[in-house]
Amino acid sequence: MEKPSFTQDQMVKSSDAVKHFGEIRKHAKEQPILIMDNGRWDTVLLGYTQYEKLYQRLVELEERYEASVLESRIERLERQPESAVPWRRVKRSRGDE
């Protein structure tokens, strides 16, 4: 996976972020701001609306992934019903009983 890219306008030294937090916070509502600490990527500041969108997208992707895993397991069980494991055995192996 590629790292996200940031323009020079989006990069701020941590010392400047402390001094100008209000201004930087306003800019972060428009586009993510990368806060650098000792020349290294440290923190990304983004507006709450952007955060909500990212979080919602993550939830959607997780749901799709879970659905595809379940679908593939069901298909495998339909092709090979002998590979099924009774739920009681699964529970016992986890120590739920």
Residue 40 lies in a domain: yes
What is the strand order of the sheet 40-45 is part of?
11-13, 33-37, 40-45
- Tell me which residue range forms the domain holding 56: 49-81
Residue 91 lies in a domain: no
Identify whether residues 56 and 75 lie together within a single domain.
yes
Identify whether residues 13 and 42 lie together within a single domain.
yes
Q: Tens of pLDDT along 10-67? A: 999 999 999 999 999 999 999 999 999 999 999 999 999 999 999 999 999 999 999 9
Residue 90 lies in a domain: no
Residue 2 lies in a domain: no
Residue 89 lies in a domain: no
| pTM flag (> 0.85) | no
